[in-house]
Amino acid sequence: MARATRLVTQLLTLARLEPEEEEEQETSTKAATNLLTEVREALAELSPLAIERNQTLDLVATETDDWQLATEPGAIGTLVQNLVGNALRYSPDGGRVTVALQADDVRLTLQVDDQGPGVPAAERERVTERFHRVGPGAGAGLGLSIVERLLARHGGTLDLGPAPESGLRVVATLPRFP
């Protein structure tokens, strides 16, 4: 039941983010959002999954940086839920997932490193396609599609590469005020 609910929720989110919605998106209200606060809240919601699998979930950020940016309501939560949720699912029991935030004058960056199997270089462009998955897993192959679409709506970018200790590094970059 939980898996079916998650699938339906992801399908509805993806449909809401379709390119046909661009005109509406341009007129939608973006509000000032504190990235650090939003990420903390999303990680708190994901912590039971990490605890269940004896995983360590770390957040690295400089408290005194300016974490303000303009986003659609709920965008950061959806972004973090998908990126960190994937990282926790694909990392082994007892593994570590690290979320690092960086800020400069024009953009904010959210980086997620996991200790899972990673994504082969040849597959990295395809994993953002709907329903495309790499390896075994319980997901429907929608999470990274949603992430990429959300970032595009906000003028951001998504980069995938190898994490330093094995696994996958996902870097989402968002302009402060697109």
The tally of domains found in the chain comes to 1
Nearest to 170 by CA among 130, 108, 131, 124: 124
User: How much is the pTM?
Assistant: 0.79
Predicted local distance difference test score (pLDDT) of residue 118: 77
Q: What mean pLDDT is reported for the chain?
A: 81
41-74 tens-digit pLDDT = 999 999 999 999 999 999 999 999 999 999 988 8
Which among 157, 20, 161, 154 has a CA at the least distance from the CA of 76?
154
What CATH number corresponds to the domain at position 38? 3.30.565.10
DSSP 130: T
| Residue stretches of the chain with pLDDT short of 70 | 1-28, 122-124, 126-143, 178
Predicted confidence at residue 94, as pLDDT, reads 96
Determine the structural domain holding residue 111 and report its residue range. Answer: 2-175
